Amino acid sequence: MQIVELVGKSYKIDADEFLLDSNQWDADFAEEMARRNGMAEGLSASHWRVLNCIRDYFSKEGTCPTAFDICKACGLSLAQLANLFPMDNKRSAYKIAGIPYFSQYPAYVKCTGRKNPIQERVYRIDIEGFLVDPDEWDCDYVIFRMRDMNIPEASDLHFDVIQFLRKQYYAAGRIPTVEQICAANEIDTEDFGALFPGDFYRAAIKVAGLRPAAPGVGN
């Protein structure tokens, strides 16, 4: 967590400048964040229509609308949305609207880990980047680990796989196999690979806060 001074006011933000508490949001925050995100001319009526749409949706649903939801509600095309918010249009719109980072992921609410406000934390990891103690795992670890892996969105299915891994690990003392994960989540290995690109099994284990070298792995 860090505190930034904007237009004579203090706001609590994370390392990526997302507002930690959406209730702190106001027009001054929005205008300044717009400038910081390459919008030197400030916010137009079209910008404000998008921002109000995002905040209205967030207040009702507790999560962010998709780009398609925004476009439908505001009568925009995806190209027009990108033109309004040129720097990573959806993320910058969320940031300017004062929505906390984790709320971009609807499936976050399914996570059974601790959900403290996002702040600077220290996680103990081994040389390969696996969490040393699975009890240190939490929802924010999932989000930031997936971002490091260039996985753009934590979907419900991502969290289903992650929660299955953790539940089986704590119940049986071992990490389930690829076949067990696929069977339990009604997916095939191709689907699994699409969820966690690259070495998908190890990637899923890493995001779940477990370690391949733990006793019983592979049994």
Q: Quick check: 100 and 22 in contact, CB under 8 A?
A: yes
**Residue 106: per-residue pLDDT:** 46
Q: Residues 54-73: what's their mean pLDDT?
A: 84
DSSP codes joined into one string, the chain: -EEEEETTEEEEE-TT--BS-GGG--HHHHHHHHHHTT-TT---HHHHHHHHHHHHHHHHHSSPPPHHHHHHHHT--HHHHHHHS-SSHHHHHHHHTT--GGGG-GGGGG--S--PPP------B-TTS-BS-GGG--HHHHHHHHHHTT-----HHHHHHHHHHHHHHHHHSSPPPHHHHHHHHT--HHHHHHHS-SSHHHHHHHHTT--TTSTTTT-
- Considering the domain architecture, whether residues 121 and 140 belong to the same structural domain is answered as yes
Question: Residue 217: inside a domain, yes or no?
Answer: no
- Considering the domain architecture, whether residues 177 and 121 belong to the same structural domain is answered as yes
pLDDT for 164-210, tens place per residue?
999 899 888 899 999 999 999 889 999 999 999 889 999 999 999 99
Contacts of the segment 130-135: beta carbons below 8 A, 24+ positions apart:
130/205, 130/206, 130/210, 130/211, 130/212, 130/213, 131/206, 131/209, 131/210, 131/211, 132/211, 134/166, 134/169, 134/209, 134/210, 134/211
- Considering the domain architecture, whether residues 36 and 62 belong to the same structural domain is answered as yes
- Considering the domain architecture, whether residues 98 and 134 belong to the same structural domain is answered as no
- Considering the domain architecture, whether residues 181 and 89 belong to the same structural domain is answered as no
Question: Residue 149: inside a domain, yes or no?
Answer: yes
Split into its structural domains, the chain has a count of: 2
- Considering the domain architecture, whether residues 36 and 85 belong to the same structural domain is answered as yes
Those residues whose C-beta lies under 8 Å from the C-beta of residue 112, and which sit 6 or more positions away, are 163
- Considering the domain architecture, whether residues 23 and 57 belong to the same structural domain is answered as yes
Q: What is the domain range of residue 73? A: 2-104
**Residue 90: per-residue pLDDT:** 61
Domain boundary among 66, 89, 104: 104
Domain boundary among 104, 127, 148: 104
- Considering the domain architecture, whether residues 186 and 163 belong to the same structural domain is answered as yes
Average pLDDT for the chain: 82
Q: How confident is the model at residue 143 (pLDDT cuts 50, 70, 90)?
A: confident
Domain boundary among 65, 88, 104: 104
pLDDT for 77-104, tens place per residue?
888 988 898 866 567 888 999 987 655 5
Q: Residues 57-62: what's their mean pLDDT?
A: 82
Least confident residue range of 6-10, 134-138, 199-203: 6-10
Those residues whose C-beta lies under 8 Å from the C-beta of residue 19, and which sit 6 or more positions away, are 11, 12, 13, 25, 29, 95, 98, 99, 100
The answer on pLDDT for 1 being more than 70 is no
Q: How confident is the model at residue 146 (pLDDT cuts 50, 70, 90)?
A: confident
Tell me the two tokens of residue 205: 């284990």
